[in-house]
Chain A
Amino acid sequence: GAVVSQHPSWVICKSGTSVKIECRSLDFQATTMFWYRQFPKQSLMLMATSNEGSKATYEQGVEKDKFLINHASLTLSTLTVTSAHPEDSSFYICSAREPGFSTDTQYFGPGTRLTVL
């Protein structure tokens, strides 16, 4: 199946700093990518849908000014957590689907563990 990578796999930062997480589709072009957040022992919660060349669509309750999403190319979407605070510590996972396919099958990245001190 298609491969999606994330970088970094883990990051520790100080409160107030910004952190950028990259999501790449390695062997296919993804017009749409999705960003999820997962707290320990909980499920994945969709944060936003990232569309190449246009603004992301954020889920209710997700601050778009805090979680900046850029999908500048067909193989790369980035999530920037601005002015991170300890409550932003979480596991962030992206997924991507190939153009021409429905949302039926998404390919997930390995996730990024963010710890804010």
Chain B
Amino acid sequence: SQQGEEDPQALSIQEGENATMNCSYKTSINNLQWYRQNSGRGLVHLILIRSNEREKHSGRLRVTLDTSKKSSSLLITASRAADTASYFCAIIIQGAQKLVFGQGTRLTINP
């Protein structure tokens, strides 16, 4: 499969702690994106990191990309209850014009 694979599948932490989710993929990519999905809702675009970038920040989010290992990580610092959601990585495969999603990580922040 060319899909990104994420781990862990589920993560439960206490409010205030940091949450780290990982994504691995198999093909060459133009960029990698992270999305959030609240239960039963649409997707919200969080951050995009291009293949020539190694790290990117947006507020409490930090994304890294290691193209040699074909992996990315999403770090959410100082988690809040409102961060409870599913998080998906998605890739644009070189030569294609479509997003391919990973299986997602279900994150639960306990108050």
Cβ-closest chain B residue relative to A10: B40
B48 close to A34 (CB less than 8 A): no
Q: Which residues of B contact A111 (CB under 8 A)?
A: 40-42
Task: Mark contacts of A94-117 with chain B using CB atoms, 8 A cut-off: 1 yes-contact digit, 0 otherwise.
Answer: 010000001111111111010000
The answer, yes or no, to whether A49 is at the interface (CB within 8 Å) is yes
Q: B: which residues have CB within 8 A of A?
A: 3, 30-31, 33, 35, 40-45, 48, 88, 92, 97-104, 106
Q: Is the CB of A104 within 8 A of B42?
A: no
Interface of B is mostly: strand
- Bound-state Cα–Cα, A4 to B62, Å: 27
8 Å CB contacts to B: which residues of A81-96? 91, 93, 95
| Residues of A in contact with B, size category | 20 to 34
* Contact status A1-B104, CB under 8 Å: no
CB contact between A105 and one of B40, B45, B101 (< 8 Å): that residue? B45
Q: Determine if A42 is an interface residue (Cβ-Cβ < 8 Å).
A: yes
By a CB distance below 8 angstroms, the chain B residues around A44 are 43, 88, 101
Q: Give B106 Cβ to nearest chain A Cβ, in Å.
A: 7
**Among candidates B35, B41, B48, B101, residue contacting A104 with C-beta atoms closer than 8 Å:** B48
Complex CA gap A84/B17 in Å reads 45
* Contacts beyond the supplied A43-B102, A95-B43, A103-B92: 18 A-B pairs with Cβ under 8 Å: A6-B42, A32-B97, A43-B104, A44-B43, A46-B98, A46-B100, A93-B42, A93-B43, A102-B30, A102-B92, A102-B97, A103-B98, A104-B92, A105-B45, A106-B45, A108-B42, A108-B43, A111-B40
